[in-house]
Amino acid sequence: MKTQLSNYIKIGTSKQFISIFGEDNNLPLLVYLHGGPGDAALPLIYKYNSELGKTFNIVVWEQRGAGKSYYTFSKEEQISIETYIEDLYSLIHYLLETYKKEKVYILGHSWGSVLGLIFIKKYPQLVHSYFGCGQVVNMKKGLKCQYDFVLKESQERNKKKIIQRLENIDLSLTQKDWLNDLLFVTKLVVQYRHSLYGKSNYNQLVRDFIFSSKYTFKDLINREKGSLQSIQYLWQELMEIDFSKYKSFDVPITFFEGRHDRHVSSALVEDYYHTIKTTKKLIWFENSSHFPQWEESVKFNQALISIKKQN
């Protein structure tokens, strides 16, 4: 697969890393918005989704403060979700100018799906079509779904200490140790095999990072630091996200959902999908949870390519 570009460019107020690959620079552009916030995914895209490079030029963007784009945030910057929307706008304009295109395709995963939906509501004229994977709908409801799942699982397993800890958690996440509570619940979703389906840890994906030629040891350390920092800066604002009021879009929407996703509830996505009145599609992955693009990568790649060919 031909790499078109792998370098730092100035986006907004910081230098950020992008890597673009595809067989032909005349192919349409597909911008991948990674999860997190701060959970960069460059090695995983190259390993599991290189097939997409036959149909698109894949733009892998390591977002502000994430992975290869890591730096220490300052209070003066006032980092917010809108900061990332502005970054994405700048990135897309750079891509359209460089590749002489009028629009891009967007694929947003998890946190990236928040950016994706906000962006297409704000700038539909720049987007052919939107693909949401592990789509966020309502953060507060999503957290409650996570909590209810791990509490029920813990009760069924008679995990008394875990149950006691869970019962003391304030789901408003306004308490002093909110981050520890949040990470505790998320960790349980992983342990109970419904983040990466059938796996009780992320070891498989961690190995993919460690053995990738795309990441150095420094990049690995920065990815961990960037993820924690981004959560600390953005999570409180993220908790206010609720897309349920958005019933129509000016670009076609496709959701790619793992049937067993309890990390970001796919049941909420299914309910939301039925309320959307404009062009839409929902594709289920029966052997996936939160990461169908890597858990069932062959099916995922083929499904996305098929949608592009139908357009």
Q: What is the 3-state secondary structure (H, E, C) of 36-102?
A: CCCCCCHHHHHHHCHHHHHCCEEEEEECCCCHHHCCCCCHHHCCCHHHHHHHHHHHHHHHHHHHCCC
Q: What mean pLDDT do residues 191-219 have?
A: 97
What distance in Å separates the CA atoms of residue 300 and residue 295, rounded to the nearest whole number?
A: 9
Whether residue 281 lies inside any domain: the answer is yes
> What are the residues whose beta carbons fall under 8 Å from the beta carbon of 181, sequence distance 6 or more?
169, 170, 173, 175
- 182 falls within a domain: no
- 3-class SS of residue 239: coil
- Does 104 fall in a domain? yes
**Helical pair 266-273 and 139-156, crossing angle rounded to 10 deg:** 140
For position 5, what pLDDT does the model report? 84
Please check the confidence at residue 311 and state whether its pLDDT lies above 80: no
**What pLDDT was estimated at residue 239?**
97
Q: How many domains does the chain fold into?
A: 1
Predicted structure pTM score:
0.97
Query: Which of the four pLDDT bands, split at 50, 70 and 90, describes residue 1?
Result: low
176 in a structural domain: no
- Strand pairing category for 14-21 and 3-11: antiparallel
> Over the chain, what is the mean pLDDT?
97
Contact status, residue 45 vs residue 209, Cβ threshold 8 Å: no
> What would the two tokens of residue 138 be?
């309502």
Residue 235 counted as domain residue: yes
Domain that holds residue 233: 3-142+194-310
Question: Is 251 within the bounds of a domain?
Answer: yes
Average pLDDT over residues 73-92: 96
Give the pLDDT band of residue 29 (cuts 50, 70, 90): very high
- Beta strands 57-62 and 104-109 are unpaired
pLDDT one-digit tens code per residue, 250-309: 999 999 999 999 999 999 999 999 999 999 999 999 999 999 999 999 999 999 999 988
Query: 3-class DSSP state for residue 131?
Result: strand
Q: Is residue 181 part of a domain?
A: no
What distance in Å separates the CA atoms of residue 229 and residue 73, rounded to the nearest whole number?
8
Quick one: pLDDT at residue 225?
A: 98
